[in-house]
């Protein structure tokens, strides 16, 4: 039986957090055994907010090394940098003509980012979901593993795919978001009603994958909880629920199991245990990422192989699209 196709990407737009890790990246190792996977560094998405060029290039490579350090195997999947494949932008242009301005204005992330970058509400920021649709549809993807915050973008991708298929005939597979039950939305340690984010100004709000053990433990110690000291997950205790979710996700257990483990313990002990567990899991990933970053030749060849594989698949879909919409293709 033909393997299902999986697509996912992360923006090299800042320091990655444990939300990115738990929400999606760490699962890719498992998925690559089962699916035909394309994993990208979404640098074209990243430039929709201002990036320092040298930082962007460095972060792109750091992100590639991180994927590999987490266990992504470049022989099993296509690991590549989005901007190396021109078909993403080309398909985005075509899909733009099937997408309405009103739909884009209603996107939650667009509204949030417009508020945050009020001096730079550029066309790319608004077009971001269409580029993401192009990423996904270009590879005829079936599954898109993402965190909860990206589900709206996968929904609009489905709408655009169906719209295209209805107008021009069956062309795209209609993909589905793959959201895990636990850890699909890790919250800020300082405001547990807000998503943990790469770009939070409060550095204590997010645990970065590059943080050392002391920093990780300090951030968890300062995490917001509440006055009642029971360690249980509930809507009234979002801070404790978030810490339990983080602990459970890193320990590979359920939140209920974590609750049992900490029954009758105090917050101090609990927070320390969460910090230690996270630091312990990240240490080997950090060491491997560092080792890989010292081997630029290996990284370049892995990314080159990934780009070649992606290019072949992308070219196939794009020529089909061009044929369907009536572009002149030469003799």
Contacts of 56 (CB under 8 A, 6+ apart): 12, 13, 43, 46, 47
Among residues 5, 6, 23, 318, the one that binds ligand TYM under rule CB under 6 A: 23
CA-to-CA dists, residue 227 to 75, 224, 236, 240, 270, angstroms: 51, 10, 11, 11, 15
CB of 177 to ligand TYM, least distance (A): 9
Binding span for ligand TYM by CB under 6 A among 20-28, 161-169, 269-277, 317-325: 20-28
> Does residue 313 contact residue 87 with C-beta atoms inside 8 Å?
no
In the annotation, is 76 catalytic?
Answer: no
Among residues 149, 159, 191, 288, the one that binds ligand TYM under rule CB under 6 A: 149
In the annotation, is 237 catalytic?
Answer: no
Which one of the listed residues 4, 198, 213, 324 is annotated catalytic?
A: 198
Q: Please identify the residue of the shown chain whose CB is closest to the bound ligand TYM.
A: 23
In the annotation, is 320 catalytic?
Answer: no
Q: Contacts by 46-54 with C-beta closer than 8 Å and gap 24+? A: 46/11, 46/12, 46/13, 47/124, 48/113, 48/122, 48/124, 48/125, 48/127, 48/128, 49/13, 49/113, 49/117, 49/120, 49/125, 50/117, 50/120, 51/13
* 243 touching ligand TYM, by CB under 6 A: no
* 238 touching ligand TYM, by CB under 6 A: no
* 9 touching ligand TYM, by CB under 6 A: yes
Binding span for ligand TYM by CB under 6 A among 7-15, 111-119, 255-263, 291-299: 7-15
Residue 305 in 3-state DSSP?
helix
Among residues 72, 107, 136, 258, the one that binds ligand TYM under rule CB under 6 A: 136
> Does residue 324 contact residue 169 with C-beta atoms inside 8 Å?
yes
* 61 touching ligand TYM, by CB under 6 A: no
**What amino acid positions are annotated as catalytic residues?**
113, 195, 198
Provide the binding-site residues for ligand TYM, judged by CB under 6 A.
Answer: 7-11, 19-20, 23-24, 42, 45, 132, 135-136, 144, 146-147, 149-150, 184-186, 195-196
């Amino acid at each position: 039986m033909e393997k299902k196709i999986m697509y996912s990407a992360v923006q090299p737009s800042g320091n990655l957090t444990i939300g990115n890790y738990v929400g999606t990246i760490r699962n890719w190792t498992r998925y690559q055994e089962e699916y035909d996977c394309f994993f990208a560094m979404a640098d074209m998405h990243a430039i929709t907010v201002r990036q320092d060029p040298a930082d962007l290039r460095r972060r792109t490579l750091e992100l590639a090394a991180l994927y590999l350090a987490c266990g992504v195997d470049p022989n099993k999947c296509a690991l590549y940098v989005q901007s190396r494949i021109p078909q993403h932008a080309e398909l985005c242009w075509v899909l733009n003509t099937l997408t309405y301005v009103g739909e884009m204005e209603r996107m939650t992330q667009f509204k949030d980012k417009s508020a945050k970058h009020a001096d730079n509400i550029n066309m790319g920021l608004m077009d971001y979901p269409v580029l993401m649709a192009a990423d996904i549809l270009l590879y005829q993807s079936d599954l898109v593993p993402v965190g909860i915050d990206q589900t709206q973008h996968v929904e609009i991708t489905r709408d655009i795919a169906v719209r295209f298929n209805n107008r021009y005939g069956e062309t795209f597979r209609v993909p589905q978001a793959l959201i895990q039950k636990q850890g699909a939305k890790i919250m800020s340690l300082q405001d547990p009603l807000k998503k943990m984010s790469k770009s939070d100004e409060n550095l204590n709000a997010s645990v970065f994958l590059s943080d050392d053990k002391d920093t990780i433990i300090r951030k968890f110690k300062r995490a917001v909880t509440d006055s009642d000291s029971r360690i249980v997950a509930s809507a009234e205790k979002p801070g404790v629920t978030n810490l339990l979710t983080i602990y459970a996700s890193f320990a590979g257990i359920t939140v209920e199991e974590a609750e049992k483990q900490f029954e009758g313990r105090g917050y101090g002990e609990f927070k320390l245990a969460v910090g230690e567990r996270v630091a312990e899991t990240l240490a080997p990933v950090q060491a491997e990422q560092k080792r890989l970053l010292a081997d630029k030749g290996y990284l370049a060849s892995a990314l080159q192989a990934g780009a070649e594989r992606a290019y072949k698949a992308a070219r196939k879909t794009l020529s089909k699209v061009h044929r369907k919409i009536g572009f002149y293709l030469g003799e």
